[in-house]
A and B are shown apart, each in its own frame.
Chain A
Amino acid sequence: MGEEKILVVEDDKQIKKFIRYALEKEGYIYSGADNAQDALEILVTEDIQLILLDLGLPDFDGMEVLEKVREWADIPVIIISSRDQDEDKVKALDQGADDYLTKPFSIIELLARIRVAIRHINKLSTDNLKPIFTIGNLKLDVENHNFYREGERLHLTPMEFKLLEILFKNAGKVLTTQNIIRQIWGPGYGNDTQALRTLMAGLRRKVEENAAKPQYIITEIGIGYRLRDE
């Protein structure tokens, strides 16, 4: 694993302690901040590759930190919060957070999400060179518009292909329903999620063995979808 430097913004010392331990054990470099002010200072002075951000900070709301970060940087941000309302999650994700974990969380889960986020930055730089994605038994050839499951070429409608491409490009990340709708139908489409669900149902019948027990396209109820990539 890499030497990425990860900033943990969290006011609970014990949580920070075991996250630090887990991160360092995985070979990441740890940097910690107790509050928003410190976090923003560290961000300008140190070379941070990923941020773990608690929303309930003593000085500012974590959302403000997220907004500030997004003004000038693409650094992946994973929210770790005890707020478990869907609205909070959707808001954070729509504001540019890469992922959202609710406390208490499993450290294994957290490490998995970190890996996904980091892989995502690495992939972005090589994206244009490699327009073929592979996850499990699935292969998506963006350039030639081909989709394979277990080596067998399956026909996708143009919409289904577009949807799958979006999912593949963001593999491992949660995409909010609104985000996907915007990408497929454009920003003026509105709030109707039923079209997306119908499209998704069609896609799942081609991608999954059993649409009700999906292996790849996971529904995050109330939030959106995630393509599982490990």
Chain B
Amino acid sequence: MIKNLFLKKDNLIINVLLIAIIMFFASLIGYLFRFLGFPETNIVIVYLLAVQIIAWLFHGLLYGITGSLIATFTFNFFFTDPYYTFTVNDPSYIITFIIMTIIAVITSMLTSHARQSAFSAKEKEAETRALYELTNDVTEAKGVDQIASLSIKAISVFFDCQAAILYFDSNHTELNYVQYVNVEHQTRRKVDDIEKLAERLKNLQTLYIEGKDFFDFPIRGQERTLGAIRLPKHISINKDQNKLKLLLSMIESTALAMDRFNYFEQRFKDREEATQERYRSTLLRSISHDLRTPLASIIGTAEMLKSMTDKEDDRFTFLENIYERSNWLHALVENILHLTKIQEGKLNIKKQPEAVEEVIGSAINRVVNMKENRLIKVNIPEQILFVPMDAKLIEQVIFNLLMNAIKHTSVKKEITVSVEVNDTYALFIIMDQGEGISPDDLPYIFQMFYTVNTNKGIDDKGIGLGLSICQTIVEAHGGVIEARNRIDCRGALFVFKLPLEVNEDG
């Protein structure tokens, strides 16, 4: 309260001057009254009025008391006999002086108090209004950016400073920094070193952090810290409990607004994603259904007709063409569907320990069912070996690699599948004795739709997806696949390794 007794220091001289002027006018009126022959009580009343005015005009109790004393002395000086001295002939004036002073002091105190209450009520009202307006504005904001901007504007205007805000965008990936300059202007930039700051914000457990030139107040959301409000230190907010409370309320409403906005945006995004996911799976399902059904009838009918036709008949060859081409089409459809599913990441790998011999056995079985009379040698550890994998997908990899080997080797040549293990991974090796891979093709063979130019013509041309699928699957398992030419003899060698450890994220 002591500092409230006087306003600011530089106002003191002006205030003293003002008091002198008021007293001067009071004395002038006093002379007028005496000239008109009014009783002295009227003059006393004029001085009391002057004291009231002083107490009302100037903020502080001391002005009122000082004014009261000055009024009494001035009255004594100008209007009591002997005039122009501070002495008095009639002792009854002493009583007048004392009562006058007491009345002046009491009324000035009352006035000062009333003024004080009016002032703090106004201040309260301003606080409430600032908070209300901020809450109101951020409710209608159309984004986190706008909320941030409104928030620092309200804070800066209220505290009469240039506050700044540091906040995450709604994805919680980008950190923005906005500084208030004036009502029309704010500067905005992205924060690059996001990790360090994010870490610092996360650890903001106290009400605020005192920096060199500023205070940082965390904006705490329900699940995480959303950012921070930065106030310059000269506001010395920590010394005024009311202001501090107001600031915290403002930050709180900012946090609420940001949280709510993030929540809605997240919900919107989730819904969008779910819709897209539904569209995609409906599309995939209908494609696979709508293509498989007619293909089933083409393939089936062609097969049927083939079995009814004599092999020497020309028609048999045509039917065989239909049969093979529709099968090729079917393989293409399956491969594209497969690849789409894996690449979309929707086909989540379900790793579990699988017996390697079963997976290889199944792949070979499928190959043999399609192309008989091929010599496939298997070379795997005698002891049963479990490797974490999605068996269906790895079987597809082995199948694709075997079909690839068969396509590039003549019937008599041997194809080998072997498996080796060490402490950390299992190596699957599929090698053939075919023509090998040309150095021109080697860098590209895992690319989608890349087909090696064989001199066999279009009939035997692949689709160019088999090896891409292998690569996608192996990499999704946290493994590596490689292609090279054999060193020991002619032929190509494909090797892929799968980690033996089951990673939580794998």
> Could you tell me which A residues sit within 8 Å of B by CB distance?
12, 14-15, 18-19, 21-22, 56, 82-84, 86, 103-108, 193-194, 197-198, 200-202, 204, 210-214, 218-222
Contact = CB atoms under 8 A, between A and B. Distances in A.
Contacts of B357: 201, 204, 211-212
Most buried by A among B294, B304, B386: B304
Given A22-B304, A214-B365, 9 more contacts: A12-B293, A18-B304, A84-B288, A103-B295, A105-B300, A197-B355, A201-B358, A202-B384, A218-B365
Overall SS of chain B's interface:
helix
Interface string B270-296: 000000000000000000110011111
Given A15-B300, A108-B303, A56 B289 contact: yes
Interface string B289-320: 10011111111110110010000000000000
Contacts, number: 102
B297 A197 contact: no
30 contacts: A12-B293, A14-B297, A14-B301, A15-B296, A18-B304, A56-B289, A82-B288, A103-B295, A103-B296, A104-B295, A104-B298, A104-B330, A106-B300, A107-B300, A107-B303, A107-B304, A108-B307, A194-B386, A197-B355, A198-B355, A201-B358, A201-B384, A204-B357, A210-B378, A211-B357, A212-B360, A213-B376, A218-B361, A219-B365, A220-B362
A214 B300 contact: no
A86 to B, nearest CB: 7
A82 B361 CA distance: 25
Nearest to B391: A221
B355 A200 contact: yes
B353 interface: yes
Interface of B: 288-289, 292-301, 303-304, 307, 326, 330, 352-355, 357-362, 364-365, 376, 378, 380, 384, 386, 391-392, 395, 417
A54 to B, nearest CB: 9
A198 B362 CA distance: 16
Contacts of B380: 212
B292 A82 contact: yes
A14 B295 CA distance: 11
A228 to B, nearest CB: 9
Contacts of A221: 358-359, 362, 391-392, 395
A103 B299 CA distance: 10
A106 B355 contact: no
A214 B391 CA distance: 17
A105 B304 CA distance: 12
A229 to B, nearest CB: 15
Contact of A214 (B294, B330, B361): B361
B293 A201 contact: no
Contacts of A204: 357
Contacts of A222: 391-392
A19 B326 CA distance: 18
B296 to A, nearest CB: 4
Contacts of B301: 14, 18
